[in-house]
A and B are shown apart, each in its own frame.
Chain A
Amino acid sequence: MIVAGCDVGSLTGKAVILKNGEIFSYSIVPTTPKPARTAKNAMDEALKKENLSLDDIKYVVGTGYGRVKIPFANSETSELTCHGKGAHSFIPSIRTIIDVGGQDCKVIKVDKNGKILDFAMNDKCAAGTGRFLEVMARTLELDLEELGPISLQAKNQAKITAQCSVFAETEVVSLMADGVEVSDIVAGIHDAIASRIMSLVYRVGLEEDFTITGGVAKNTGVVAYLEKRIGVDAKNLPVDPQIIGALGAALIAQDQLTA
């Protein structure tokens, strides 16, 4: 049985194909202005990797902000459910999921069955999201992927006080002008993100075990600074944390067929 989940996010589109309950293929593609095209690009890439066609997929569940515009989805569901389902499927002891996406951040509390108990979202401000990191990487003339490792080299972490990405950018420029070490600035940026995420964590309360999903979970700096603030290490997922939403959608697709 082959099913799929497709997650159309604000910065990337993701597709996961499951074959007999196991991840068979997946893709991560940049978002286009049209959610339908993003979904198609993501699904085409995942299909192509295993020489499949859309006809081979028995059921597709869409999720993400563009979920209602995925033309080939049989049904759609919220990303909260998908992240809960996806993370819980790997680590059943997970009770809190921190999903840090391109333009939003969510903290999701689940019970022992993966059912959502509570959640909090930051749905407007870019601070504490992937977009914030993108802006900062551009300002510092670094690649996005470099940020995490560089932040861990900091010796004297700079203080970024602004919560807003626009003001933080100005602050970073000032720090650069003052000759502050890049690694110290990057560390400050990561800690500022962690601080922002913590305000959501406080809202729902953190229950262990916890894990981090979404594209920003791949940034070792954000993870480290968040773990430091929480005081507990996050549980590592055995797959790319950016595909957890799509994976959860695929698992729901599987449930739909086997129900």
Chain B
Amino acid sequence: MDIEKFNEYKKLTRGNWGKDLSMLKMMTVGLLNQNKDEELTPIIEGLLNYLLAIPKARKEGKKFIMHPFNYGPEIFYAMDMVPLMQETYSVGLAPLGLNEPYLDLTNKIGYGDNPTVCNAQRPLIGSYIQGVAPIPDLLFFLSTPCNSLAMTYQVFEQLASIPTFKIDVPYWTYNKVGEFNDNKVIDYMVAQIKDLISWLEQKTDQKLNLEKFRKTMGKVNQARQYILEFNELLKTVPCPVNSQAAMGNFLSMVGYGGTDMAVNSTKYLRDTAANNVKEGISGVPDEKIRIAWPYTHIFFDGDLLTWIEETFQAVVIMDLLGFYQVLPHDVSTTEKCYESLAKGTLDFSMIGTCRGPIEYYIDFLLDYVKDYKIDCVIMPMQFACKHAYSMARVSSEAVREETDVPVYIFGCDPYDSREVTSESIRGGISDFITQVVL
């Protein structure tokens, strides 16, 4: 990173952010220092600005809204609010080993126990008890992907008396020919999006600027287009980027979708992949194995994918979050913008795969395995993620039967290193790759 740029960001991290922003500050400083000797990519720059926006919002008196990991924040940006993905905490603190004490605090107040409720959300409860996480002005969540998330958000709501809005993601009918064949679903979602906007207008005391809304949705579309092209480029053998790259798209869309930062980040990834394809450069030298990873990363083991790459010359082509597959939509009118928001909500990473019939998920996985020339599937399954566990079994059977590609399922808690250790996870993966795949 250019030293002047580094110092510029360093300066922004200085000062007292307040106790409730202390962990956020630690994450920001950590991210900056970790990348001091690396290229300042638009992804890292985007993330830094995303984190720095929270203390800035406080100074400027802007409304700060918290939302889950499966919702694009474009409408919040369109309304000049500052969003924060709640799981920034659990994901950001996991590799530092700092989730565990907050999980223990959460256990102490009797809200769930490992691993009965998802630990993507629970550390924040402990953080609130300690006063080291900021109470947002507003809270937003969805009924999908799971009951666990919906339950925990209601705990946040009550714990801190935060005004909250919830969107009900409906179950849907599915056939492979027309994914959005049920117009009732879209209409239902559009109505809820409009209710959300009305609620936000009331809470922020300002009307949605339609011109800004359309511009924001245009930027969302541009980023979606880049991601679509990036996802196509991943079909190339060897894969032009490493196992971590796709996650950059997800972070862009969940963190700052609808902004120039997201457009720049997704364009950067698309350009990098396209250039590497052209030059014959692979993300993992001498790629031998292409892995589908249809679940989240193991957040407490930040080096796991690199270890897989270096040990087995294997590249993880897709993880469930990184494989963002919301298509660009018509945003030529305000009404179409609402529809695009609705469709984006319905097909956001993990919502799209978890909101409906298992057949949709199975088809998604089978198509992926075939189209992306996958050699094996590794499915980490979080103990608390009950529906994902059941999906794993059914979908793994389908993959084995229809593609003959081997599948490895292992239980773990991606946020708590005490449940299944990194050593155990690596041992299982090693056994699978060496004994079954190779």
Contact = CB atoms under 8 A, between A and B. Distances in A.
B435 A119 contact: yes
B409 A78 contact: no
Interface stretch (A22-30, A42-50, A121-129, A242-250): A121-129
A80 interface: yes
Interface in B406-435: 406-412, 419-420, 424, 427-428, 430-432, 434-435
A203 B436 contact: no
Interface in B374-421: 383, 393, 396, 400, 406-412, 419-420
A123 B435 contact: no
Contacts of A116: 435-436
Contacts of B434: 78
B430 A78 contact: yes
A81 to B, nearest CB: 6
B431 A78 contact: yes
Given A80-B435, A81-B435, A203 B383 contact: no
Interface string A41-60: 00000000000000000000
Interface of B: 383, 393, 396, 400, 406-412, 419-420, 424, 427-428, 430-432, 434-436
B420 A203 contact: no
Contacts of A124: 383, 411-412, 419-420
B419 A121 contact: no
A146 interface: no
A204 to B, nearest CB: 9
Interface of A: 65, 78, 80-81, 116-125, 202-203
29 contacts: A78-B427, A78-B430, A78-B431, A78-B435, A80-B431, A80-B435, A81-B435, A116-B435, A117-B406, A118-B400, A118-B407, A119-B431, A119-B432, A119-B435, A119-B436, A120-B409, A121-B410, A123-B411, A123-B420, A123-B424, A123-B428, A124-B383, A124-B411, A124-B420, A125-B411, A202-B393, A203-B393, A203-B396, A203-B409
Contacts of A125: 411
A256 to B, nearest CB: 16
A65, A81, A123 interface centre (most CB from chain B within 10 Å): A123
A22 B435 CA distance: 26
A124 B382 CA distance: 12
A95 to B, nearest CB: 15
B312 to A, nearest CB: 14
A7 B193 CA distance: 59
A202 B397 CA distance: 10
A65, A124, A125, A202 interface centre (most CB from chain B within 10 Å): A124
A123 B428 CA distance: 9
A116 B436 CA distance: 6
Given A78-B431, A80-B431, A122 B436 contact: no
A255 to B, nearest CB: 16
Given A78-B435, A123-B411, A118 B406 contact: yes
Nearest to B431: A78
Contacts of A123: 410-411, 420, 424, 428
Nearest to B406: A118
A124 B431 CA distance: 17
A204 B63 CA distance: 51
Contacts of B420: 123-124
A202 B411 CA distance: 16
Contacts of A122: 411
Contacts of A65: 427
Nearest to B430: A78
